[in-house]
């Protein structure tokens, strides 16, 4: 019976000009968004690789530096797109694309090129993820607000009842018909993604598809349930559109604002001042009167069994610089660790709103799957810092040990250009999908709860009508 009712529902959609129009418009937007997004991401990846190469060329072509001068010259790291950024660009519009890595200090990510159009950034972008998370539910609302209430108003429901149609199969068939409408949009998006993308991560793409199909089932079941419970299609439309506005537009903003107001972040000045204060307790590498430096000098002289710097077979400056870097790394770990925990705390707080909003849960899971969410961003920052530390460590060690005493007793540098050209450029390996999803347990639980609640709501609505016999 469900199959007959399901096919009948599809026939009704295909016969109704408005239904077809909404579906065609949705499919067009899905296709257009996937195509433009794929083209944007492709250009972005090419530009990112070109920028990385330009920085590498500048590094390799530079000559005549001492290792410490090279550490000050530094390197630039350009943020790559996430593995599935052409489906969900996530945080890319609001995070910087470039980090300058240099000796003595850790710099933030800078340059958000969409700042010039900042007035637009308070709105959602038209990309595949937002098409599926915002527009697909809307298509379902517009196609389905009268899926039961119109039948009731026209008296067709009573006819179906007389013919022996039971409420649960009827509601299931109508929900399934609506869901397949959404599933069609999902398939358009994923199909276009497979078509337009050069590299496809099958696991992530499949997860993205399953996630959105699940969310659309929740939406379809809620629409059918609400439509069945409302006496008039107009009331059903008003309620469903209000829920869509709340879930898609208002609640995510409210969640963000609540998290930000409940647990505010420190100001940049405050954060940097605290870090600077701790850093100043250590060696700065340039201050000959620093007590820690004197202590380190004493240790090194003792280690090499000599009386003065002039007798050392190594460059003490390089060792001091590295000791300062080691201390700076501890300071950074402490402060950035606290900041990271703070950011994640805020994020977790906003995550609790997913328990009342399946669209928000989908959005956050989608970013995690795409590798463009907060965890990926923080991991990228951490990896950049690791790269900086390794770069500076190698340079400091060369500064310390890449020397030899010549005949007049002076230290002469033995560093060759090959040493510099032997450095590897920064490469970022995205976090594995399982780890990213593991960090989104609240959202995963929320989606499961919503799947259960929406299906349960449908069953309860059917039972209510079964009991009362007033379909």
Of 113-152, binders to other proteins (CB under 8 A) are 113-127, 130, 134-135, 138, 142, 145-146
From 230-238, 384-392, 419-427, 430-438, span contacting other proteins (CB under 8 A): 230-238
Structure tokens at 456: 């349960």
Contact assessment for residue 466 and residue 228, using Cβ atoms and an 8 Å cutoff: no
Segment 351 to 380, residues that bind other proteins, using CB under 8 A: 373-374, 377
Q: Which is nearer to other proteins, 11 or 253 (by Cβ)?
A: 253
- Smallest distance from the beta carbon of 46 to other proteins, in angstroms? 7
- In sequence order, which residues have a C-beta less than 8 Å from that of residue 366 and are 6 or more positions away? 87, 88, 129, 133, 208, 211, 212
Segment 17 to 46, residues that bind other proteins, using CB under 8 A: 33, 36-37, 39-41, 43-44, 46
- Smallest distance from the beta carbon of 392 to other proteins, in angstroms? 17
Segment 234 to 253, residues that bind other proteins, using CB under 8 A: 234, 237-238, 241, 245, 249-250, 252-253
- The conformation of residue 248, written as its DSSP 8-state character, comes to I
The dihedrals phi and psi of 101, each to the nearest 5 degrees, come to -105, 125
Q: Is 151 exposed, middle or buried (0-12, 13-18, 19+ CB in 10 A)?
A: buried
Segment 279 to 318, residues that bind other proteins, using CB under 8 A: 287, 289
Segment 377 to 396, residues that bind other proteins, using CB under 8 A: 377
Q: Which is nearer to other proteins, 101 or 396 (by Cβ)?
A: 101
Contact assessment for residue 78 and residue 101, using Cβ atoms and an 8 Å cutoff: no
Q: Which is nearer to other proteins, 108 or 414 (by Cβ)?
A: 108
- Smallest distance from the beta carbon of 456 to other proteins, in angstroms? 26
x-or-dash pattern for other proteins, window 57-76, by CB under 8 A?
-x---x----------xx-x
Of the candidate residues 346, 362, 396, 442, the single one contacting other proteins (CB under 8 A): 346
Strands (E) located in 70-194: 75-78, 98-101
Contact assessment for residue 147 and residue 26, using Cβ atoms and an 8 Å cutoff: no
Q: How many residues bind other proteins (CB under 8 A)?
A: 93
In the three-class reduction of DSSP (H, G, I as helix; E, B as strand; rest coil), residue 363 is classed as: helix
- State yes or no: residue 274 binds other proteins (CB under 8 A): no
Of the candidate residues 4, 257, 310, 445, the single one contacting other proteins (CB under 8 A): 257
Alpha carbons 170 and 3: distance in angstroms, whole number: 10
**Within 13 Å and on the Cβ side, how many CA atoms surround 104?**
16
- State yes or no: residue 48 binds other proteins (CB under 8 A): yes
Contact assessment for residue 244 and residue 145, using Cβ atoms and an 8 Å cutoff: no
DSSP string, 20-51: HHHHHHHHHHHHHHHHHHHHHHHHHHHHHHHH
From 2-10, 85-93, 303-311, 454-462, span contacting other proteins (CB under 8 A): 85-93
In the three-class reduction of DSSP (H, G, I as helix; E, B as strand; rest coil), residue 78 is classed as: strand
Of the candidate residues 233, 317, 402, 430, the single one contacting other proteins (CB under 8 A): 233
- State yes or no: residue 112 binds other proteins (CB under 8 A): yes
- State yes or no: residue 442 binds other proteins (CB under 8 A): no
């Amino acid at each position: 019976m469900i199959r007959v009712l399901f096919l009948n529902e599809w026939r009704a959609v295909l016969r109704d000009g408005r239904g077809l129009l909404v579906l065609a418009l949705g499919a067009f937007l899905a296709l257009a968004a996937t195509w433009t997004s794929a083209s944007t991401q492709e250009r972005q990846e090419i530009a990112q690789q070109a920028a990385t190469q330009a920085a590498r060329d500048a590094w390799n072509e530079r000559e005549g530096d001492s290792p410490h001068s090279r550490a000050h010259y530094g390197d630039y790291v350009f943020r790559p797109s996430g593995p599935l950024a052409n489906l969900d660009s996530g945080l890319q519009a609001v995070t910087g694309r470039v980090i300058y890595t240099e000796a003595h200090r850790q710099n933030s990510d800078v340059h958000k090129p969409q700042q010039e159009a900042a007035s637009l950034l308070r709105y959602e972008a038209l990309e595949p993820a937002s098409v599926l998370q915002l527009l697909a539910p809307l298509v379902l609302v517009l196609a389905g607000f009268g899926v039961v209430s119109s039948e009731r108003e026209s008296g067709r429901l009573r006819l179906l009842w007389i013919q022996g149609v039971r409420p649960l199969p009827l509601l299931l068939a109508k929900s399934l018909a609506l869901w397949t409408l959404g599933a069609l949009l999902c398939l358009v998006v994923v199909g276009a993604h497979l078509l337009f993308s050069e590299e496809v991560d099958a696991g992530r793409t499949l997860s993205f598809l399953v996630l959105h199909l699940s969310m659309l089932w929740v939406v379809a079941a809620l629409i059918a349930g609400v439509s069945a419970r409302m006496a008039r299609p107009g009331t059903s439309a008003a309620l469903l559109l209000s829920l869509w506005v709340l879930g898609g537009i208002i609640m995510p903003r409210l969640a963000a604002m609540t998290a930000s107001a409940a647990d505010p972040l420190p100001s940049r000045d405050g954060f940097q001042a605290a870090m600077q204060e701790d850093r100043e307790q250590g060696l700065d590498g340039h201050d000959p009167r620093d007590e820690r430096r004197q202590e380190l000098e004493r240790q090194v002289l003792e280690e090499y069994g000599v009386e003065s710097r002039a007798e050392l077979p190594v460059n003490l400056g390089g060792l001091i610089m590295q000791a300062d870097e080691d201390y700076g790394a501890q300071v950074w770990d402490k402060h950035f660790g606290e900041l990271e925990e703070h950011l994640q705390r805020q994020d977790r707080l906003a995550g609790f709103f997913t328990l009342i909003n399946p669209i928000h849960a989908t959005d956050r899971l989608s970013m995690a799957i795409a590798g463009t969410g907060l965890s990926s961003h923080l991991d990228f920052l951490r990896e950049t810092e690791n790269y900086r530390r390794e770069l500076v460590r190698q340079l400091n060690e060369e500064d310390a040990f890449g020397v030899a005493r010549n005949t007049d007793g002076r230290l002469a540098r033995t560093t060759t250009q090959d040493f510099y050209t032997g450095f590897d450029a920064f490469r970022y390996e995205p976090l594995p999908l399982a780890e990213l999803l593991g960090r989104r347990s609240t959202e995963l639980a929320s989606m499961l709860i919503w799947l259960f609640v929406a299906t349960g709501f449908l069953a309860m609505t059917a039972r209510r009508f079964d009991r009362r016999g007033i379909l």
